[in-house]
Amino acid sequence: MSLIVQKYGGSSVADAESIKRVARRVVETKRQGNQVVVVVSAMGDTTDDLLDLAADITDHPQDREMDILLSSGERMSMALLAMAINQLGETAQSFTGSQAGMITDAIHGKARLIEVNPNRVHESLDSGHIGIVAGFQGMSRESKDITTMGRGGSDTTAVALAAAMNADVCEIYTDVDGVFTADPRVVSRARKIDVASSEDMLEMAANGSKVLHLRSVEYARRFGVKLHVRSSFSEKEGTWVIPDPEDKITIQEGEPLEQPIITGLAHATEARMTIAGIPDEPGRAAAIFNVVAEVGTNIDMIVQDVSDETKKTNISFTLPSDDGRKTLEALEAQKGAIGFEDLDFTPEVGKVSLVGGGMRHHPGVSAKFFSALRDAGINITLISTSEIRVSVITKIEDMERAVEALHTAFGLDSEEEATVYAGTGR
Ligand code: ADP
Ligand code: ASP
Ligand code: MG
């Protein structure tokens, strides 16, 4: 008997009809002779609605209360799905994250898993039930409080359960047919990828392809969990993410032996900070980034200009838009100590990344990349590269156009239009 973990995202359980549809799919999987564990997200845009509600009450919600509030979204869907499955003649039991043994550290809003002890879920399966687990939440043993794992964290709940329970596969059900060469909401000719390496998928997720939570890809790679990303609205085969690049892949006749040069494009909205007029001498960058680290901001791209004849330089970096205010305040407070002249903050810029494990062996990728942006008349403000990625920062209003232009320039456009079945893309 196989053990299958299925995760259904918010758009797949948006209303009663959708929950009933998912229940039929789960029951069918069970009746094919499998044990099934289901991880659910909150219904539709519930998490965003709860965030808006809290913002209507206060600008400074307590982290602890915020996590209790947000974790309630997943509790609603898990109970409703259990009822829908019971209605179809199978039995299901739902569990909150803490009941399912998802033990995390005590950092609210971005808690990390420390231990996963799904004993109660095992018992439930052994008694012939379908186990349902609320996504994106856990409990800290230290503080005894409910925690959440960050937006999109239900994917990580599913992969962690699949690893702990030694599942045969972890299926991530969403509102598109799999992982595409670009966000199908932006590029209608995006092409579905049949098999992606963990390495490429990590870069895609790290650079904004929210179809998989970054931490779920990391976790799947570490624990060798097979991921199948697919639509809950169709029966189509989705995208397989191969956990171990060393794993032997069976190549069908006629299939290319090498991985493609380019896997796809990812995009994200970030903020940009420019610190101008910094004395060009050792220790100034360290002073800046220590201040930034102290307030807990994760920075992304960093660029320093060559200093001018006044021996002053500028440093720019990108950061999550939500961290903008606190970072700005912290730097402003240390203006004298660091010795800079000016701060310039842009709350929204576009980050566009081209990802592909094959590009490390192929010259000319950068030339084609920058030519395509030039032809589209798009100006670039920051550039960063890795062995398998080229990223640029553009004006926010140019971001989607840049993704489309690059998708076409790299020959990724498909003959057919990609289907987006549901969801608001929020
Ligand atoms: P769920 O609610 O099921 O977790 P998400 O909204 O988190 O779904 O992720 C699915 C969405 O990810 C798609 O609707 C799509 O707009 C977006 N997306 C971004 N990049 C990609 C990509 N490369 N391939 C597929 N979807 C992508
Ligand atoms: N409901 C949470 C969110 O919207 C977690 C998830 O769906 O993965 O981010
Ligand atoms: Mg998601």
User: How does 42-59 read in b/e, with b if 16+ C-beta sit within 10 Å?
Assistant: bbbbbbeebbeebeeeee
The full DSSP string for 22-33 is HHHHHHHHHHTT
Closest ligand 2 atom number to CA of residue 151: 9
- Residue 182 half-sphere exposure, CB side, CA atoms within 13 Å? 29
How confident is the model at residue 28, as a pLDDT?
97
Tokens of 298: 């994760």
pLDDT of the chain along its 426 residues, tens only?
899 999 999 999 999 999 999 999 999 999 999 999 999 999 999 999 999 999 999 999 999 999 999 999 999 999 999 999 999 999 999 999 999 999 999 999 989 999 999 999 999 999 999 999 999 999 999 999 999 999 999 999 999 999 999 999 999 999 999 999 999 999 999 999 999 988 889 999 999 998 999 899 988 988 889 999 999 999 999 999 977 655 444 545 555 444 567 889 999 999 999 999 998 888 888 999 999 999 889 888 898 887 777 888 999 999 998 899 899 999 999 988 888 999 999 999 999 999 987 777 677 888 899 999 999 999 998 998 888 899 999 999 999 999 999 999 999 999 888 899 987 777
159: left (phi over 0), alpha (psi -120 to 50) or beta: alpha
Residue 69 in domain: yes
- Virtual torsion, Cα 147, 150, 155, 159, nearest 10 deg: -60
Residue 126 in domain: yes
How confident is the model at residue 257, as a pLDDT?
43
Which residues are paired to 267 by β-bridges?
Answer: 352
CB of 210 within 6 A of ligand 1: the answer is yes
Number of domains, the chain: 1
Residue 281 in domain: no
DSSP 309: T
In this structure, the residue with its CA closest to atom 10 of ligand 1 is 211
How confident is the model at residue 398, as a pLDDT?
97
The answer to whether the CB of 353 falls within 8 A of the CB of 390 is yes
Residue 294 in domain: no
Residue 318 in domain: no
CB of 152 within 6 A of ligand 1: the answer is yes
Q: Residue 28 sits in which domain range?
A: 3-174
In this structure, the residue with its CA closest to atom 1 of ligand 1 is 9
Q: What are the angstrom distances between the C-alpha of 258 and each of 15, 103, 263, 358, 390?
A: 43, 40, 12, 8, 20
**Predicted confidence (pLDDT) per residue in 360-385, tens digit:** 767 788 889 999 999 999 999 899 88
Q: How far apart are the first and last CA of the chain?
A: 38
Q: Give the Å distance between the CA of 111 and the centre of ligand 3.
A: 17
How confident is the model at residue 246, as a pLDDT?
57
Q: Give the Å distance between the CA of 7 and the centre of ligand 3.
A: 10
How confident is the model at residue 223, as a pLDDT?
87
Report the residue count for the chain: 426
How confident is the model at residue 65, as a pLDDT?
98
Residue 364 in domain: no
Residue 297 in domain: no
Substitution candidate for ligand 2 out of 45, 66, 75, 151 with most atoms within 8 A of CB: 151
414 three-class SS: coil
pTM recorded for the entire structure: 0.83
Identify the CATH number of the domain in which residue 144 sits.
3.40.1160.10
The answer to whether the CB of 152 falls within 8 A of the CB of 366 is no
The answer to whether the CB of 209 falls within 8 A of the CB of 229 is no
Residue 163 in domain: yes
Give kind and range of the element (H or E) at residue 16. helix 16-31
